[in-house]
Structure 1
Amino acid sequence: MADTAAEGIEDLHINTPEDENDSNYKPPPEKTIEEILETDKEDESLRKYKEKLLGDAKTGIVVVEPNDPRKVIVKKLALCVPERPDLELDLTGDISQLKKQVFVIKEGVSYRIRIDFIVQREIVHGLKYVQKTYRMGMPVDKMSHMVGSYPPKMEIQSYTTPAEDAPAGMMARGNYTVQSLFTDDDKHEHLKWEWSFEIKKDWKD
């Protein structure tokens, strides 16, 4: 199953029109932090809002991890289920090993996916999370979430997807492989990784 799914990982492109609910969406022109602060600077309330939004970035270049040249560093994926500890994947190590760590999910539960990431050096426009799910090598689900534009900050920033319900019923139980992609308006692939989960009748099955 994993080998067949792995062959399809190249299908996880960033320009997949069938994923897009915003097919007419055009990314805004990129602006430097200085240009953003200069715009409408006569509006005091707007100026203060933008300074608060930009945070550390307005005082100069923000570099959180100097040895990493990337603008976006994806740190963690978490599967969040109400009233249960988050199931987490560390995305800072050898991502080729992630699919060996299988999440167990009770059928029918409501869950969200949280992505923790760092933005450094400059503003990143139109971050997007794209996910394709396979079962026995066949695609069974695809989703794309617009994460938004983020300024560089010293602390970790996060995005959480809307709630979704896990499949339920005997036919839905089993192993699934997920291919995830964190990208942006400029079609930069900040991280692409593969992971797995198993749908069971109950958490302890």
Structure 2
Amino acid sequence: MSAHPKDNTEDDLAPTETQGYKVGQSKTVAELAALDQEDESLQRWKASLGLGGKAGAGGSKKVILKTLFLSSPTLSKDITIDLTQSPTELAKLKKEPLGITFTVENEIVSGLRFLQVVKRTGIAVDKTEAMLGSYGPQEAHYTKVFASEESPSGMLARSGTYSVRSRVMDDDKHIWLDFEWGFKLGKEW
């Protein structure tokens, strides 16, 4: 009887913990906007964070992921994945071939981070963990471009089909995105 190796994708997608860091007490946009109302410069700073705009009009905290994109100097145009599709449509991307665009509504999101594990034939070959930051609600999209990476050199080392699992979560361990997709590397895009 042969044992199957444990799929440790969940472990791979667990964010690193910073020793001594404690998530602060959550406050609503209205509570933060009401603090220190006599300090004009602080009020301008809060307004620049979106504390008081239309996007913070109430309701529960909400991150809306718009697109995930792959950019390369060898591509004629970016490869973009529309994250507003249904889960069924996103699941189809697992069989097909980085930056991210999103909006934040209603409340501040703290410690938003992007995690990604790339596997080839079931073996993890790359893990990306990028802190996106903390954001206030606003109607305009936020865009985060990740550091570029290079695939291994040599045709045999880099060509092939890869499976990817991408996740976006915050300090409260709320998972805003979790989906699998894939891509194929070859000599030419």
Report TM bin, short chain. Answer: 0.7 to 0.9
> Could you give the per-residue CA deviations for residues 159-198 of structure 1, whole angstroms, max 9, x where no partner exists?
2212222222132221111100010000011110111122
Q: 1:60 to 1:99 in 2, by over 3 A?
A: closer
Aligned to 2:177: 191
Q: Deviations over 1:59-79 (max 9, x none)?
A: 85167xxxxx77112121001
**1:110-160 deviation line (CA, Å, top 9, x unaligned):** xxx111112112111111100001001111111211111111112222222
Aligned equivalents of 1:90 and 1:58: distance in 2?
25
Amino acid at match of 1:173: S
With normalisation by structure 1, the TM-score equals 0.75
Return closer, same or farther for 1:24/1:198 CA change in 2, 3 Å cut-off. Answer: farther
Residue-pair matches, total: 179
1:87 to 61, 79, 94: 79
Partner of 1:180: 166
Q: How much is the aligned-residue C-alpha RMSD, in angstroms?
A: 2.6
**Is 1:25 aligned to residue 31 of structure 2?**
no
- Gapped regions of structure 1 (runs ≥ 5): 64-68, 103-112
Q: Looking at both structures, which has the greater relative contact order when contacts are Cα pairs under 8 Å and sequence separation is at least 6?
A: 1
Q: Distance in 2 between matches of 1:195 and 1:131?
A: 11
**Cα distance between partner residues in 1 of 2:94 and 2:56:** 39
1:10 Cα offset (Å): 4.0
- Structure 1 position 141 matched with structure 2 position 142: no
Match of 1:77 in 2: 68
What does residue 108 of structure 1 align with? none
SS at match of 1:164: coil
Q: Which residue of 1 aligns with 2:95?
A: 100
> Which of 119, 122, 128 is residue 104 of structure 2 equivalent to?
119
* Ranges in structure 2 where 5+ consecutive residues have no aligned partner: none
Match of residue 110 from structure 1: none
Q: Aligned partners of 2:129, 2:99: CA distance in 1, in Å? A: 14
- SS of 1:165's equivalent in the other structure is coil
